[in-house]
């Protein structure tokens, strides 16, 4: 789910399914191999020939635009990234983002 914390009632377009899946697994706890394994299982052993290249392309786009970041070790996400946007206290999320030095734009 995309959300504008400055206008949380504004309806944002849904994420493309591939991007949404990758973002949902970008929780600081899953590895790239786990993502690939999950997608392979999703196709019940009949995954497309270019599955790995497609995932690499999606990851490349998401890391280039800093939607996700890759890390060598597991870590806990901050409050504003660890919950679904509809479950966030928006004021608390804004404050936590400000405290972390996150500035959009």
Per-residue model confidence as pLDDT tens digits over 14-61: 666 767 777 777 888 888 898 888 888 877 767 778 888 888 888 888
**pTM score, whole prediction:** 0.63
35: left (phi over 0), alpha (psi -120 to 50) or beta: alpha
What's the confidence (pLDDT) of residue 9? 73
Does residue 1 register a pLDDT over 60? Answer: no
CB atoms within 10 A of CB 2: 14
Q: Kindly provide the b/e burial profile for residues 56-70, where b requires at least 16 CB atoms within 10 angstroms of the residue's own CB.
A: eebbeebeeeeebee
**Which residue has better confidence, 100 or 16?**
100
């Amino acid at each position: 789910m995309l959300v504008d914390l400055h206008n949380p009632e504004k309806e944002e377009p849904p994420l493309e399914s591939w991007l949404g899946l990758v973002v949902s697994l970008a929780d600081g706890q899953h590895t790239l191999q786990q993502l690939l394994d999950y997608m392979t299982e999703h196709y019940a052993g009949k995954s497309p020939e270019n599955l790995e290249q497609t995932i690499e392309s999606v990851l490349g786009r998401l890391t280039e635009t800093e939607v996700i970041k890759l890390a060598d070790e597991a870590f806990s996400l901050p409050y504003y990234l660890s919950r679904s946007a509809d479950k966030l206290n928006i004021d608390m999320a804004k404050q936590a983002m400000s405290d972390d030095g996150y500035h959009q734009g």
